[in-house]
Structure 1
């Protein structure tokens, strides 16, 4: 049987510097995180059963390996990085197990290897290229119509909240090195979970779920303010939007926990926006792995709306947009079932020269289309501001 070995190592320093290749897998949060490279195994999946299929594939892969884990911490031993589509259509979700993993958590550092990987020389990260942003002359007008229609449905009592998203597309003027983007995002948003997983790069402020032994936690965000914003976080509109999101996460986690603490909402200040946030922490009542929890939480009211079926139906009708892996779970899981799964926000998908950014807003009965447009612009800035002075083409 193939051997998976994890051994303690000296502190490697900045984990971003440990990633030797542009296609390295990265997961950073504060001073902790992981950098992986090489592909020991890869699994692509689509459809409504994508989460369970990925879990089953990982279990089957583990059953054919001999694991020697001399660290025994969350993230040691075999680890799979994952990125899943928002919707259950034909889009591609992915699970990747790296051949080599360098990680740091709780003051400990370690290396995991699968088999006997070679260690070729790495490459120096490339600077980010220029971008030609593709013009959409009617985008703002279309957005106003979408939000206005959603507000009408909410005021008519058909649903309570829907989250609408939009995308911005660009053409890269040269090679894109995710390591450079992640490094800049990590410097600007050190409190976020910064990631690069199979062409998806971002800095998410929202933890869908983290599981470490019997401990589980979540960070729910809904309600946004930004420099120049005219609404603020102290309005009834924001309170309603946030409460719906927090309640949806609490309902799911309570079914799996013997004890659950839902903390009072607080303001979470980031470099470009400020969110209303609720921390949830608890103790699991039974053995359930992190990805299963994430699959049952997804999609929360923070990225879909409520009631779920009505909100999903309306956003599919109004957005005319394939979200891909935007707003889907992104993160990692180890052989014990520990892991962290965030909602893929403040992110971009890169495929060859094509760059695609996303942003969304929670729409409730008091939403104003112009204000929601400016909110998406502020959120898009998290990625757009990484690049040089933009140009625009039709």
Structure 2
């Protein structure tokens, strides 16, 4: 096979790739079982999704044009690829995984794995991606056992709980003074293990404990997000909005009463309305029709309950899943309202770099279909210390917010990653 030299997208060289997707027999019930010790990528929910490893192509990008640059690179890459896809569903063929920083200055990346194992609706397949000059043989799938995480010690990140509560109180004062309607404030926690953390261990535990969330892994960022920023699939656009949270007690009767109180809470309903409106406004230019629920439902997760709304629309233009994610980020659910004012306030008072926390994370295929979640309930491995991770949680602050209650809510949102690490 003779192909021309690699083309360029902006300043990035784009390789010519050969991609082959073919069905295989199920080897394991869980896609995550196939991940190697290092460099695994994942996007799974229940038993379906994608797991990949190796790097056939990669783009690292930052700056205000990072989404546009990433889309340009992806279009050039898919245009230069030779694809044989015997499956023909979203997620087969050429696929990239991606994770984007919360701010323009935070690092972002797209990664095309060398091997992808996918499952959808009872069909399992393997995709191999390789340069045209060195075609790869289909791998033999194996089950790889992770190493349990050793003893973990936790320490405050950028702010102590007390200091963070004071920041929340400052934000409430600014909100009541009319400076902003809502702002989302985040905090971090440092997890230090006695030895290197095998990320497959917490990743598997997250997938098992939170099957209704989207469990993800991209370049050392792992988590289980309950919030689907956007899905594009064959002309249908959907987005799950979460805002308004209450912690579960473990007592079913009490939790039902708490769910009812959450559904009536004026503070939480106000926060939720801001979030839904920001998503609907961002998606409207890309949809010829939309369904925006008038009232939310209560989403029950093992550790918390959220007010949730599923916004849906029919695509009106050719915007890709990543293009839609770019239009939505940052939503009021992770930033605030008005967006620009809230973003400035976060920069002024939050006191830490979010990195890729609360940014879009997910995957996209060559047709532009894909799923992008918000990187929540997550942790970032330290590239310089394999025994260290940063864990993140954030809360939406409005006029009725109580700093102590918000601190308790942030602690509840840290539970998934703390438990996944074995504590």
TM-score (norm 1): 0.94
Offset at 1:127? 1.0
1:201 maps to: 222
Offset at 1:137? 11
1:374 maps to: 408
> What CA deviation, in whole Å up to 9, does each residue of 1:95-153 have, x standing for no partner?
11001111011232211111333648775311122222225797122112211111111
Secondary structure of 2:165's aligned partner:
helix
Quick one: which of 90, 96, 114 aligns to 1:74? 90
2:71·2:322 contact (CA, 8 Å) conserved in 1?
Answer: yes
Q: Which runs of 5+ in 2 are unaligned?
A: 4-16, 250-254
Offset at 1:227? 2.8
Quick one: which of 320, 344, 363 aligns to 2:397? 363
Quick one: which of 112, 123, 129 aligns to 1:108? 123
For 2:89 and 2:422, locate their aligned partners in 1 and report how far apart those are by CA, in whole Å. Answer: 40
**Greater Cα shift, 224-233 or 61-70:** 224-233
Question: Measured at CA, do residues 169 and 211 of structure 1 come closer, stay the same or move farther in structure 2, by a change above 3 Å?
Answer: same
Please list, as runs of the form range in 1=range in 2, the aligned pairs for 1:1-394 lying within 5 A after superposition: 1=3, 2-12=17-27, 13-89=29-105, 91-115=106-130, 116-117=135-136, 119=139, 123-135=144-156, 139-227=160-248, 232-263=262-293, 264-351=295-382, 352-389=386-423
RMSD value over aligned CA atoms? Answer: 1.8
Question: Measured at CA, do residues 146 and 22 of structure 1 come closer, stay the same or move farther in structure 2, by a change above 3 Å?
Answer: same
Q: Which runs of 5+ in 1 are unaligned?
A: 390-394
Secondary structure of 1:325's aligned partner:
coil
> What CA deviation, in whole Å up to 9, does each residue of 1:303-349 have, x standing for no partner?
00000111011111110110000000000000000000000000000
Secondary structure of 2:114's aligned partner:
strand
Offset at 1:65? 1.7
> What CA deviation, in whole Å up to 9, does each residue of 1:56-100 have, x standing for no partner?
1122222322111121110011100001100111x2111110011
> What CA deviation, in whole Å up to 9, does each residue of 1:250-309 have, x standing for no partner?
111121111111233100000100000000111101111000000010000000000011
1:199·1:350 contact (CA, 8 Å) conserved in 2?
Answer: yes
> What CA deviation, in whole Å up to 9, does each residue of 1:178-220 have, x standing for no partner?
2221111011100000011110000000000000010110000
For 1:129 and 1:300, locate their aligned partners in 2 and report how far apart those are by CA, in whole Å. Answer: 37
For 1:315 and 1:150, locate their aligned partners in 2 and report how far apart those are by CA, in whole Å. Answer: 9
**Greater Cα shift, 347-356 or 204-213:** 347-356
1:349·1:356 contact (CA, 8 Å) conserved in 2?
Answer: yes
1:392 maps to: none
1:361·1:376 contact (CA, 8 Å) conserved in 2?
Answer: yes
Offset at 1:10? 2.4
2:33·2:143 contact (CA, 8 Å) conserved in 1?
Answer: no
Offset at 1:175? 2.0
Superposition misfits of 4+ residues, deviation over 6 angstroms = none
**Greater Cα shift, 18-27 or 119-128:** 119-128
**Greater Cα shift, 231-240 or 25-34:** 231-240
Secondary structure of 1:39's aligned partner:
coil
For 1:343 and 1:100, locate their aligned partners in 2 and report how far apart those are by CA, in whole Å. Answer: 24
For 2:394 and 2:220, locate their aligned partners in 1 and report how far apart those are by CA, in whole Å. Answer: 20
> What CA deviation, in whole Å up to 9, does each residue of 1:212-251 have, x standing for no partner?
0101100000000003598744210000000000010011
